[in-house]
Amino acid sequence: MEITLQYVREGDYVIDATCGNGNDTLSLAKAVGPNGDILALDIQREAIDASKKLMSENDIKNVCFGQSNFTGMQKFSGFAFPDRAPSAIIFNLGYLPGGDKSITTTMEDSLVGIKEALELVAFDGIVTVVLYSGHEEGAREKEAILEFVSMLPSDVFHVVYSQMLNQKNNPPEVLWITKKN
């Protein structure tokens, strides 16, 4: 998150594509401050409710929540924040911690969602993707996403990939994709 936040300024518009329990939404909301705008999406009502609770506990009022698939992100963003380009979009893939593990991001949706995010994100902005390959769909999803981002045109996108090489149990891996003008 620290790297993502280097691309975010006070007053910016940002998107959390998978708000889950709201931890990333909270970090983004603190970074943009009360004059910024945050769009937080998740397909599960349970996740939206948990995130709303966390925002309320932290007195954060400027998050627009949508119980929606992130494959509809462009449409949702255009409706909620017309003419604004987000400086950061984060995908924390996988399933809701403490929730139903059968409801997880899928390779097909994630590829569509990431493509949408790369179109939508502002120039000089960042798309962050946290990958979890310790479950079957996560492993499939990771391979397809890595293949896709490796092919992005290098004059427009810079793709950085981090792995922890000495940790057990498939620790999370992170992609940071920045977009140049």
Ligand X SMILES: C[S@@+](CC[C@H](N)C(=O)[O-])C[C@H]1O[C@@H](n2cnc3c(N)ncnc32)[C@H](O)[C@@H]1O
Binding residues for ligand X, per CB under 6 A? 18-24, 41-44, 47, 69-70, 92, 94-96, 103-105, 109
Nearer to ligand X, 20 or 86 (CB): 20
Q: How far is the CB of 83 from ligand X (least distance, A)?
A: 24
Q: How far is the CB of 153 from ligand X (least distance, A)?
A: 26
Instruction: Say if residues 87 and 121 touch (Cβ distance below 8 Å).
Output: yes
As to burial, measured by CB atoms within 10 angstroms (0-12 exposed, 13-18 middle, 19+ buried), residue 68 is middle
Nearer to ligand X, 33 or 172 (CB): 172
Contacts of 167 (CB under 8 A, 6+ apart): none
Nearer to ligand X, 115 or 158 (CB): 115
Q: How far is the CB of 159 from ligand X (least distance, A)?
A: 21
Q: Which alpha helices (DSSP H) does 33-159 contain, by range?
A: 45-57, 73-80, 107-120, 136-150
Rounded CA gap, 39 and 29, in Å?
Answer: 10
Q: How far is the CB of 20 from ligand X (least distance, A)?
A: 3
